[in-house]
Amino acid sequence: MMVDPAARIINKETWGPYFLLVLESRSIARRAWPGQFVMVKASETTAPLLRRPLSLAGRNGDRFQLFFQVAGQGTALLAQKEPEDRLDVIGPLGRGFRLPQNNQTAGVNILVGGGRGIAPLLFLAGEMRAVHFPVKVLYGGRTAADLPLRDRLRAGDIPHACSTDDGSFGQKGLVTGLLAQELKTKGAAGGIYACGPEPMLKTVAELAASARLPAQLSLESHMGCGFGACWGCVKKIRRDGEESWVKVCEEGPVFPAEEVVWP
Amino acid sequence: MTDLTTDLGFLKLKNPVLAASGTFGYGLEFEPFLDLNKLGGFVVKGLYFDPRPGNPPPRLVETASGLINAIGLQGVGVKAFAENIFPRLQSLDTAVIVNVCGSDDEEFVAVVDFLNGQVGIAAYELNISCPNVKKHGFCPALSPKHTHDLVRKVKRASRRPVITKLSPNVTDIAEIALAAEEAGSDGLSLVNTFLALAVDVETRRPKLANIYGGLSGPAIKPLALRLVHQAASRVKIPVIGLGGIATGADALEFLIAGARAVQVGTANLVDPQAALRIIAELEDYGRRHQLARLTDICGTLKT
C-alpha cells in the first residue's frame, strides 16, 4: 500500500449522484486489483475528519478509476473535485477477489453488482477476460438512472444483463432474480462474485449455497482508517466453526460467502 | 539544531512524540507508512489477559471534528501478543509501551506479571479509563481511591515503569492524578476519550451499538488541554498529554501547558504519517525559536 498525497484527477464523468474519476498514480495503479479499495481525503479541514473508502473500478497503466455515489458530506465534497485537482489517496488496500486456479473446464463466472457495487465487478470482468475466463455481469439498480456503468459494459463487449426495481430498464425486479434465472437455466456456472447492499449479498450467498457454487462477496463497512489500526469496520465471520468480529479493511472486503454471518 | 530528546525520568525518549494506544494497532500496521524507529515511541493496543471479542458494530461514528468509538478493546490477549506480535517489535529502536487492561484489579496484575517476562518493553500504561467496554464499565479512573488501590497493586507486581492513563470524565482531575502519584505511578497520560453519544434522528436509535462511546479527535483538544494543565500543575511525576493532537502546534500547546511528552491518536487513522509530520514541525519550531532543548518549553505557560 502507498500514500499518494497528490494523485492527479485526469477525468471525471457524472451521472446524477454517480461519479467516475480517473486518477494518475503509478504506485497505486500498478498494485491495484479488483475488490481492493483506496482511502481518500475528502477535505483539507476536519469536516469530515476521516478519509472515505472508495472502490477501485479499474486500472490502465499508471491510472486507476474510482466510482462512487454521493451518500454524505465526504462524497459530496469529492463530487466537486475536477480534472487537474489533486487527491490525497492511500491504497490499494484490503484483499480483493481471488481468481480460481484453473478455469478451463468450469463454466461462466457470474459477477453480480447492485447499485454502486458494480465498480469492483466492472474491474474484475476486465481482469478475468484478459486471462480468458468467461464472464457474465448481472447489474441491478432501482431505476435506469441507477445503472450508469451499463454503457461501459456494452462498450467493453462484456456479456451482461440488467434489472431495475421499477422495470425502467432491463428485467423488472431484483438483480438476485437475474442470478436465480441464470443458475436455473444455464446450470454450468463457474463461480459467483458479488458486491452490493447487504440484503442482496445475503440472497446471493443463499443462491450460491443451494447451487453448490463458490461465491465471493465484497462487504461494505464504515471505516476509521482502512488499514487495520482502529478495528472499527468489523463484520461477523465464521471460520472453523468459530465466530468472531473480523476487520473488513484488512481481511476483506472480499470474503468467501460461507464465512459471512448475517445479522 | 534543537535537541528533541525527552527525559521522563523513568524513560528516555528520542523525541516527545508517542503514538497513542488504540489508534496505532500493534505498531506493525504502520510499518508500510513510516519508520517506527523515528518515533519517540508508541503504545500498543490495550491488552487483556485473554482474547476479547469486542463490541458489535457499528463501532464508530464521525461527529464534528471528532470520532466516537466503542471498539470494546477487541484484542488477541497477552499470550498471543507475546508469541506472535511482540517478537516483531523487540528489535525496534524506539520505546514500545504496552497498554494494560483488566476487568478487575487481579487481571491488571496478571497481565503485568505475564509481561514482566518479556524483554524489551519500555513501560506499562495502565488503561484504567476506557469508557466503553461495558455499559457500566470497569473504570477505576473515576475514583481516587480505586485509582490508588489499583496503581499500588500493579506497582508491586511490575518490574517496569508504570504510566497511569486517566479519564477526562471526572469532576476533579487533580484529585485522581494525585492519587495515582501517591500510589507510586511513575507517570501519567491524559486524557482518554470523553464519554459521548450520537443519535440517529430518523430511527431515534443511538448511532453506536454500544449506545455510548469515547469521543476523540480535534474536537476534544481544548478540553484535554485544560485537564492536562490542571493535572500537571499539581503532580511532580511527568505528564504525557493527549487529546486531539494533529499538528506540531497542537503538540506544543500540550507541552507548554505542562506535558513532558505527547501522544498522537486519532490523527494516525486519518494520516498514518501524522506522528512524523508532527516531529518535523516540532523541529522547525525549535529552530525558529532557537531552543537548545525542546523540553525547555514544557510548563512555560504564562498565566
- B207-250 pLDDT per residue, tens: 999 999 999 999 999 999 999 999 999 999 999 999 999 999 99
Check residue A77 and give its pLDDT. Answer: 97
Predicted pLDDT at B135 = 46
Q: Report the chain B residue with the minimal C-alpha distance to residue A248.
A: B57
Continuous segment of H or E residues that includes residue A5 = strand A2-15
In this prediction, residue A101 carries a pLDDT of 76
- Could B57 and A3 be called an inter-chain contact, meaning their C-beta atoms sit closer than 8 Å? no
Active site residues of B: 130
Whether the CB of A48 is below 8 Å from some CB of chain B: the reply is: yes
**Domain A97-218, CATH 3.40.50.300 — does that match?**
no
- B199 to chain A, any CB pair closer than 8 A? The answer is no
- Domain B6-56+72-193+217-297 CATH superfamily: Aldolase class I (3.20.20.70)
CATH assignment of A220-263, among 3.40.50.2000, 3.40.50.720, 2.10.240.10, 3.40.640.10: 2.10.240.10
- Determine whether the interchain pair B60/A232 forms a contact, defined as Cβ–Cβ distance below 8 Å: yes
Q: Please report which helix (H) or strand (E) contains residue A52, including its range.
A: strand A52-60
Interface mutation target, options B24, B26, B59, chain A, most CBs of A under 10 Å = B59
Residue of B67, B69, B74 with shortest CB distance to A49: B67
The amino acid that residue B1 corresponds to is: M
Cβ separation B269–A229 shorter than 8 A = yes
ipTM over 0.85: yes
B24 shares contact with chain A (CB less than 8 Å): yes
Helix (H, G, I), strand (E, B) or coil at A219: coil
Judging contacts by C-beta atoms under 8 Å, the chain A residues touching residue B269 are 50, 224-225, 229-230
Provide the Cα torsion A220, A208, A236, B66; round to 10°: 10
Which residues lie across from A64 on neighbouring strands?
Answer: A23, A59
Contact residues, chain A, for B33 at CB < 8 Å: 1, 3, 227
pLDDT tens, B167-223? 999 999 999 999 999 999 999 999 999 999 999 999 999 999 999 999 999 999 999
- Tens-digit pLDDT profile for chain A (263 aa)? 689 999 999 999 999 999 999 999 999 999 999 999 999 999 999 999 999 999 999 999 999 999 999 999 999 999 999 999 999 999 999 999 999 876 555 689 999 999 999 999 999 999 999 998 999 999 999 999 999 999 999 999 999 999 999 999 999 999 999 999 999 876 567 899 999 999 999 999 999 999 999 999 999 999 999 999 999 999 999 999 999 999 999 999 999 999 999 99
pLDDT value of position B212: 94
Scanning B97-156 for CB atoms below 8 A from A yields: none
Q: Tell me the torsion sign for CA atoms A142, A145, A149, A152.
A: positive
C-alpha cell at A89: 489517496
B285-299 tens-digit pLDDT: 999 999 999 999 999
CATH of domain A2-93: 2.40.30.10
Separation in Å, CA of B165 to nearest CA in chain A = 19
Query: ω into residue A253 within 30 of 0, thus cis?
Result: yes
- pTM score of the predicted model: 0.95
pLDDT, mean over chain B: 95
